[in-house]
Amino acid sequence: MKIGIEHQANGIDLIKIHHKTMSIVFTNYGARIVSWKIDYNNIVLGNEVEADEFYPNHPYYFGATIGRYAGRIDKGTFTLNHQTYQVETNAEGHHLHGGSKGLSSRLFDYSIHQHEHDVKVIFTTQVLSSEDDFPGNIDVRIVFTYDVNNTWTIEYYANSTEDTLFNPTNHAYFNLNPDNRTIDNHVLISDKMHLFPLNDARLPQNKPIDLIKTMGVNRIPIQTIFQSQDPRLHPQIERFKGLDHPMEVGNGKLTLSNDKVMLHVITDRPQIVVYTFNSPEKRAHANQLFKSHSGIALETQSMPNDIHMFGHKAHSILRANTPFYSKTSYQVEPM
């Protein structure tokens, strides 16, 4: 495996890893994935050429590590240990994806470790309570591993000085097509797919829709979901112009496929938020228009707003001086 580093402006580095006809590119800005080429077909949305200009100026979290808290927190407020906290409200009156001081907008320190069959990139940073108003200063380490089996693995490590919330994810958008087609032709495959509806504030409701029971199969074309007339599912698709929903899958495994490639997602996180990049035209720059459904994010995490849904039993609660660890892998398999 070959490794190269490209230095761009504003301290942004591109870490380029090549193996035969495969390559993957990471950056220290937001500990994110920039590109992933399988037989020269890039399956991740991003911008390698102008990364230093593209990523700081776009609102879609392309490929970024998200934290402290992935998803929304209702009105940006929560109670922990009988104390109420108010954090930034950066999305229609709610907190979203860690806010403006979140992990996605940070320059991480990093080191590269090459082995016979893989390359590890270790990203580190510290988030202070004084920066984002969450309780506790938290040390974060994100380890990206790319191996000869075309697997990208993310490991999350964290430790906080106080009880806090920590709900990290990665916001890569995938598109397995070799052209500019949308992801409507992709298929979702799992032994269990329970989709949690959203209310008008985009907050999940704890009354899931069993997609396998609704559709009658466990290989569900995304287009079939979009066109469903099911009385619970159809209003959700109409309201949000696609999927932006938490999903529980069988044994933490979900496969995304088209007619040529399968992407296997394996995670120890309790949910996966499936987001089909809906209506990006509303926020496009004058010279950059993104099509609806041009990518799909598979965000492995705990339930958005879980602190309000489950209180002291919320999965996102991280106790002081208790090490956090989580692992998610994305593996590409040609069909």
Token output for 24: 């993957």
Residue-level pLDDT at 180: 78
Q: Is the pLDDT of residue 22 over 90?
A: yes
Residue-level pLDDT at 286: 39
Residue type, 106: R
Residue-level pLDDT at 285: 44
Average pLDDT, stretch 131-138?
99
Residue-level pLDDT at 165: 99
Question: Which letter, b or e, does each residue of 220-230 get, where b requires 16 or more Cβ atoms within 10 Å of its Cβ?
Answer: bbbebbbebee
% the chain with pLDDT above 70: 97
Average pLDDT, stretch 230-255?
98
Taking only the tens place, the pLDDT of each residue in 310-330 is 999 999 999 999 999 999 999
Residue-level pLDDT at 49: 83
Residue 167: phi and psi, rounded to 5, are -145, 75
pLDDT class for 268, splitting at 50, 70, 90?
very high
50 or 110, higher pLDDT: 110
Q: Is the pLDDT of residue 283 over 60?
A: no
Residue-level pLDDT at 281: 61
Contact 302, 270 (CB under 8 A): yes
Least trusted range by pLDDT, from 118-122, 187-191, 283-287: 283-287
pTM equals 0.96
Residue-level pLDDT at 288: 52
Contact 223, 141 (CB under 8 A): no
Q: Is the pLDDT of residue 289 over 70?
A: no
Average pLDDT, stretch 145-170?
99
Average pLDDT, stretch 52-77?
94
Residue-level pLDDT at 282: 55
Average pLDDT, stretch 42-68?
91
Judge: domain 2-334, CATH 2.70.98.10: yes
Residue-level pLDDT at 287: 43
**Residue 26 CA to chain centroid, in angstroms?**
15
Q: What is the mean pLDDT of the chain?
A: 95
Taking only the tens place, the pLDDT of each residue in 78-106 is 999 999 999 999 999 999 999 999 999 99
Q: Is the pLDDT of residue 260 over 60?
A: yes
% the chain with pLDDT above 90: 90
Distance CA 321, CA 161 (A): 6
Q: Is the pLDDT of residue 248 over 60?
A: yes
Cis, bond preceding 319 (omega within 30 deg of 0): no
Residue-level pLDDT at 50: 83
Q: Is the pLDDT of residue 55 over 60?
A: yes
Residue-level pLDDT at 51: 86
Residue-level pLDDT at 328: 99
| DSSP-assigned letter for residue 107 | B
Residue-level pLDDT at 291: 86
Residue type, 93: G
Residue 226: phi and psi, rounded to 5, are -60, -35
